[in-house]
Amino acid sequence: MIITQTPLRISFLGGNTDFRQFFEKHNGCVLSTAINKYVYCIVTKRFDEKIYVNWSKKEIVNEVSQIKHELVREALKKVGVKSSIEISFLSDIPAEGSGLGSSSSVTVGVLNALYHYVGQNPSAEQLAREAVEIEIDILKKPIGIQDQYIAAYGGLRFFQFQKNGKVTNEKITLNNGFVKDLENSLMLFYTSRTRKAGAILQKLQENISDKTKLLLKIKQLAIDGEKALKKGNVLNLGKLLNQYWEMKKQMAPGISDEEIDSIYDKALKAGAIGGKIAGAGGGGFLLFMVPLEKRHTVRCALSPLRELPIRLEPDGSKIILNISQY
């Protein structure tokens, strides 16, 4: 049995500059962090030759091509496993529509588990690159490439996406005192609405060429955010988030609506410095940066929305159990 633990993420700044349609012309960059909420993938060897996949559905099939869970199907093809296996998933948050990068965490996590299942030890770069290949090149999902990389690498990172396709990343190291300050400023609230991001992401992708000037400003915010973090300036990062949210809403219809705007306004009035919707938009989680002394006020203002306490996660996808069965 093999179990992988793969972190979810919150993206602070630079989102949408990780779409190939943008960074292959202008370079892109994203400031994001892995968080201590996870997707778990459990892989076990079966005595029979069938393939079992347990998610919101239970699949029992004879061939890889028959699997309906497309991420699992393509990961099995990529690694070359063809039979006698059972794959199951657990998640700390709703598996779909959270905006915390769960789909890419699933892809990275199952790849990691399968490679160790066949006796290989893939690098974070390999996991990220192959997850991108599965989600974008094979399955044609209208998404960027930041989620796969932060799931594989973990930590608080500044990713740069270059015109030639190369991805570089810098792990931002903070002293323990500032890590606590940053963690204590982050508040994540569930809107109680999951959403299928596909329609919003498709429109975002279609709008890339028309939104170049806006995306260049979004890219600069990520650069400024990295500098703010290195200087230990949580206040500035919160202000940049607020600017980013106003820009992000202009990228495509459906990212926000009256209900989300109302929640956001309540948080600011209660003392939040800034915030944004997690992921593509339309639902899922809202992230806010809040001074420690204002956390209770913000929490009361947003009641009865459920808060998800989070901490920064230093590690990417990793093996937490690996035992031989036969």
**Residue 138 DSSP code:** I
Question: In this predicted model, what pLDDT tens digit does every residue of 13-51 receive, in sequence order?
Answer: 999 999 999 999 999 999 999 999 999 999 999 999 999
Confidence of residue 196 (pLDDT cuts 50, 70, 90): low
Same domain? 283 vs 189: yes
One domain, residues 26 and 52: yes
Work out how many domains the chain is built from and give that number: 2
What's the confidence (pLDDT) of residue 212? Answer: 93
Q: Give the range of the structural domain holding residue 6, as residue numbers without chain letter.
A: 2-173+314-322
Shared domain for 183 and 167, answered yes or no, is no
**CATH number assigned to the domain comprising residue 251:** 3.30.70.890
* Whether 146 and 211 share a structural domain: no
Burial of 24 (0-12, 13-18, 19+ CB in 10 A): middle
> Which of the two residues, 209 and 127, has the higher pLDDT score?
127
Please tell me whether residues 144 and 264 are part of one structural domain: no
Judge whether residue 99 has pLDDT over 80.
yes
**Is 70 exceeded by the pLDDT of residue 182?**
yes
Q: Which 3 state secondary structure label does DSSP give 276?
A: strand
Q: Which two tokens stand for residue 214?
A: 């806006």
Give yes or no: residues 166 and 180 share one domain.
no
Distance in angstroms between the alpha carbons of the first and the last residue of the chain: 10
146 and 264 housed in the same domain = no
Q: What is the mean pLDDT of residues 206-215?
A: 88
Provide CB contacts within 8 A for 196, sequence distance 6+.
96, 97
Q: Quick one: 142 and 243 in the same domain?
A: no
Peptide bond into 253 cis (omega under 30): no
Q: Which of 160-169, 217-226, 254-263 has the lowest mean pLDDT?
A: 254-263
167 and 195 share one domain: no
**pLDDT tens digits, 129-148:** 999 999 999 999 999 999 99
Mean of pLDDT over the chain: 93
Do 145 and 225 lie in one domain? The reply is no
Rg (CA), the chain: 20
Is 122 in the same domain as 164?
yes
CATH code of the domain covering residue 116: 3.30.230.10
pLDDT at 326 over 50: no
- Per-residue pLDDT band at 210 (split at 50, 70, 90): confident
**pTM of the shown model:** 0.95
Dist CA 42 CA 2 (whole Å): 6
- Domain shared by 80 and 160, yes or no: yes
